[in-house]
């Protein structure tokens, strides 16, 4: 009678291991992109961790923390310069949806350009301030 719980437990452990392996591979891919940034790269991030300006919702209520996308507009040996998405959300999951979706509809605020050093990019990813990275492919 103890076989079923043992088999179920074994299957759950194997599934957990696969999920963990997939998460590690995704984090490794993100880190590789952060270590060799390119103009056009998109970062899903906690915008309030980088921007000097406050973010508000449609009712002009402050959003903190504010989540959204950042786009790399220039790179140099010391790091990158990014601009933030025009809109922000209090929901981190919306940034995940945005970075996976059609980026053609995303507008960025060119008015505030934020310089981020290379080591700071890596640290921001480790700290969870940058939580997804995408390099749009050329068509």
> Token pair of 65, please?
């923390």
pTM more than 0.85: no
Boundaries of every domain in the chain = 3-134
Contact 88, 53 (CB under 8 A): no
Neighbour tally for 136: CB within 10 Å: 12
What does the pLDDT profile of the chain (139 residues) look like in tens digits?
555 666 656 655 544 443 333 444 456 889 999 999 999 999 999 999 999 989 998 889 999 999 999 999 999 999 999 999 998 999 999 999 999 998 888 999 999 999 999 999 999 999 999 999 999 874 4
Pairing of strands 55-56, 62-63: antiparallel
CA separation for the pair 103, 101 (Å, rounded): 6
């Amino acid at each position: 009678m103890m076989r079923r719980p043992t088999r179920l437990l074994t299957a759950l452990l194997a599934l957990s291991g696969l999920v963990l392996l997939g998460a590690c591979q995704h984090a490794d891919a993100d880190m590789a992109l952060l270590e060799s940034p390119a103009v056009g790269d998109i970062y899903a991030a906690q915008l309030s961790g980088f921007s000097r300006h406050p973010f508000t919702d449609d009712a002009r209520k402050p959003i903190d923390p504010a989540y959204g996308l950042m786009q790399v507009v220039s790179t140099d040996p010391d790091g990158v310069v990014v601009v933030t998405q025009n809109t922000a959300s209090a929901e981190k999951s919306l940034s995940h949806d945005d970075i996976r979706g059609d980026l053609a509809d995303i507008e960025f605020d060119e008015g505030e350009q934020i310089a981020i050093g290379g080591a700071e990019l890596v640290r921001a990813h480790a700290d969870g301030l940058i939580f997804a990275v995408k390099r749009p492919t050329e068509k």
